[in-house]
Structure 1
Amino acid sequence: MFNKIMVVCTGNICRSPIGEGLLRQALQGKNKTVISAGVGALVGHPADPMAVQVSNSHGLDISGHRAQQTTLGLLSAMDLILTMDQTHSSWILQQYPQLRGRVHKFQKWNGDKDVEDPYRLPLAAFEKAYADIEAGAQRWMTYL
């Protein structure tokens, strides 16, 4: 059973806060913990303003998010670790091979695609990332 879920991206300010927010919203009232972190987190920073804007336009409020770094302690406490792209999965498994079996891509059930990083790109890139993350979250709900 997946009761503790972590969503991972690079800086923990664009993709993973959206993924965390969508899963948290979908799992509300189901006694699940959902957090996010970054492999190169901008620790303490809020979500990127465009990520907040796009999320708000879809009825999701991630404005209270603050970035945190992935650590062995955080990762080890999780039942499921969802990464936004293969570089994140590879980094985690190279650093912490004992986590094999818990690490999967957010888009695992959608062709195992990467969610492209919209950081410092136009609003359209954030819209695309949001759509991909939302699709991944919907598919994961079958298993959560």
Structure 2
Amino acid sequence: MKKRNKIIFLCTGNICRSPMGEALLKKAVEDENDELLNTLEIISAGTSTVDGMPPSANSVEALRRIKIDISDYRSSYLTQEMVDEAFAIFAMASSHIDILKAYYKNLPKRVFTVMQMIEGSKRVDVPDPYGCGIDEYLDVRDDVAYATPFIVKYLKNELKKI
């Protein structure tokens, strides 16, 4: 059985929301410099994409404004192998979890939407900014950035259990 050490951020096209989630968590883990967190591989993927697409210009710009560069990122379609290696999957919307449950097997026990990680949050989904202006992308960035410390805390607690 493969080692489950991947953290997957999941959205539809893997060019807007999930690359931002991946980059924000990588930065948080780097800043945290925690031995357990450093064992994880943080990636992102899409449920309806093709491999190799660049991130949207507005995603690149939204993260550039906080000094994170994703311009070299390229999209990936979610594969069963990725799921098999996942320690946790953080979806941008509940519809992505529905797709996971319908089309993939061997899901990790840790599958949530990003917004579900925020203590006390009543929101479930991060809206898809595709085709919108920079303000919507900044809102997505800020939503995911706000959720990131909660995700870090959760992962640290879960990693201590294994």
Does TM, normalized by the shorter one, top 0.5?
A: yes
Q: Distance in 1 between matches of 2:8 and 2:106?
A: 16
Aligned-pair CA distance for 1:95: 1.3
Q: In proportion to residue count, which structure has more helix?
A: 2
1:115 and 2:126 aligned: yes
Aligned residues: 143
1:94 and 2:102 aligned: yes
**Could you say which residue in structure 1 is the equivalent of 2:114?**
106
1:132 maps to which of 143, 149, 160 = 143
Note if contact 1:93-1:100 (Cα within 8 Å) is conserved in structure 2. no
| Bigger Rg, which one | 2
**Could you say which residue in structure 1 is the equivalent of 2:159?**
none
Distance 1:24 1:64, change over 3 A: same
Q: Compute the TM-score of the two structures, normalised by the length of structure 2.
A: 0.83
Where does the alignment leave 5 or more consecutive residues of structure 1 unmatched? none
**Partner SS for 1:98:** coil
Percent same amino acid among aligned pairs? 31
Q: Compute the TM-score of the two structures, normalised by the length of structure 1.
A: 0.92
Aligned-pair CA distance for 1:97: 4.7
Where does the alignment leave 5 or more consecutive residues of structure 2 unmatched? 156-162
1:17-52: CA deviations, max 9, x gaps? 000001111112523210000000242111101000
**Could you say which residue in structure 1 is the equivalent of 2:72?**
64
